Amino acid sequence: MMRKPESRFRWPWVLLITLSGVSTIMPAGQRILDQTVAVVGDRAITAGEVEEQMALEDLDREQPRERSAERYREVIERLIRLRLVQREMDLAGFIGATDAQVRQQMDFMRGQSGGAAQLQQTLANYGLSETILENFIRQQLDFQLFVGFRFRTGLVIPREEVEAYYATEFRSQLPAFSSPPPLDLVYEDLEAELVERRVDPLLNDWINRVRSQTRIMIVERSSASAGTESP
């Protein structure tokens, strides 16, 4: 497969245009509502999506919004990788989370938030909505199911390895002088932990391979062209 070169990213300009939403050389009265910032194969990532992803991460971190070129770049990178996985899921015909699974998670959140109104208000404070949250939850569930199907299935951890882990690493993490629980009691948890340790590198290798076979491009915009050029 041919490797497609990735284009260079001109962060300052992207940031300038995306965050300000207004260019000094754009015709008076016009503003940018949204635009592509990157493409992965035939899928576009827009500035609006990057904003949304940052808001979701803000929500997760329970921290006020922060904006920097570096963070912007990191979020685009995460979205690129997410698009790669979604693309592979589509190509493989993978059936993701069911509506019922997503609904169950949403109901749970509404309950824990003190009701639908409270949830909506919290989301609104971050510039989000229930639809955005629902899409996000679906995306996360799909991702977890796919990784489980693609990488966890078939991964077998030998009993000796679990025993060795229990005898060394697991014990060393326990408070001093505390006696460890019996191995059989924690066996499944330790096995799951070791599976996860193996999944991550496998997943990363796979993503890198897929990436090398896909056209990925960061959209470059010069200040001169951003506002005045006539497409």
Partner 1 sequence: MFVQAIPPIVLLAALLAGTAHAEERTPTPAPTVISVDFAPAEQPLPDEHLNNLVSVKVGEPLEPRLIRQSIQRMFATGRYEPDIQVRGEDVPRGIRITFMARPNWFVGQVQVEGAEAPPTPLQLVNAGHLDLGQPYLEEDVGFAMQEMRRLLENNGFFSANISKTEIEHLESRQKDITFVVMPGERAAIGEIYLTGHGPDEAPPLPIEDVRRISGWQRGQPSTQRRLQQGVSRLKDHLRGKQHWLSTVRLVGRDFNADLNEVGLVVDIRLGPRVVVRVEGAEISDQKLRRYLPIYEEGVIDDDLLAEGGDNLRDYFQSQGFFLASVSPVLERDREDEVLIICQVDRGPRQELVHVGISGNRSFDLPTIQERMLVQPRNIDDRKGRLTDSLLAQDRLVILDLYRSNGFHEAEVACRKEAGYQRNDKLMAVFCDIHEGERTLVSGLTIKGMERLSEELFEDRLSSVAGQPFSEVSVATDRDLILGDYHDSGYHRAEFSWKRLPSDVPHRVELEYEIREGETLYLREPIITGLRHTRPSLIDQQVQVMPGDPFSANAMFETQRRLYDLGVFSKVDVGLQNPNGEEPTKNVLIQVEEGRRWTARVGGGAEFARIGGNTADVSSPLGDASFSPRVTLEITRLNVRGLGHTMSLRTRFSNLQQRALFIYEAPRWTGSDKWDMTISSLFDTSRNVRTFSGRRLEGALQLRHRLSKPSTALYRFTYRRTSIDQNTLQITPLLIPLTSQPVRVGLLSGTYIQDRRDDPTDSTKGIFNTVDLSFASGIWASEPDFVRFLGQNSTYHRLGNSRVVLARTLQLGLLMPTGVFWMQDPISFIPGASEPDPRIPLSERFFAGGANSHRGFPVNQAGPRDPTTGFPIGGGAQFLNSVELRFPLRWKNVGGVVFHDAGNVYSRPREISFQSRQKALTENNDTVGYDFDYMVHAVGLGVRYKTPIGPVRFDLAYSINPPRFIGFEGTREDLLRGAGTITHQRISQFQFHFSLGQTF
- Given the rule CB under 8 A, which residues bind partner 1? 2, 4-5, 7, 26, 29-36, 39, 42-44, 46, 48-49, 53, 56-64, 78, 81-82, 85, 105, 108-109, 112-113, 119, 121-127, 131-133, 136-137, 140-141, 143-144, 200, 203-204, 207, 215, 217, 219, 221, 230-231
Provide, rounded to whole angstroms, the least separation between the CB of residue 183 and partner 1: 27
Judge contact between 38 and 216, C-beta under 8 A.
yes
Judge contact between 119 and 113, C-beta under 8 A.
yes
Provide, rounded to whole angstroms, the least separation between the CB of residue 157 and partner 1: 20
Q: How many CB atoms lie within 10 A of CB 83?
A: 20
Provide, rounded to whole angstroms, the least separation between the CB of residue 148 and partner 1: 12
35 burial (CB, 10 Å; 0-12 / 13-18 / 19+) is middle
CA distance 139 to 90: 13
For partner 1, give the closer residue by CB, 118 or 168.
118
Provide, rounded to whole angstroms, the least separation between the CB of residue 170 and partner 1: 22
For partner 1, give the closer residue by CB, 134 or 183.
134
CA distance 121 to 128: 9
CA 5 to chain centre: 23
For partner 1, give the closer residue by CB, 124 or 174.
124
Provide, rounded to whole angstroms, the least separation between the CB of residue 56 and partner 1: 7
Provide, rounded to whole angstroms, the least separation between the CB of residue 61 and partner 1: 7
For partner 1, give the closer residue by CB, 35 or 157.
35
For partner 1, give the closer residue by CB, 98 or 168.
98
Q: Is the dihedral of CA 123, 130, 46, 50 positive or negative?
A: positive
CA distance 65 to 58: 6
For partner 1, give the closer residue by CB, 16 or 123.
123
Cβ contacts of 57 within 8 Å, gap of 6 or more: 75
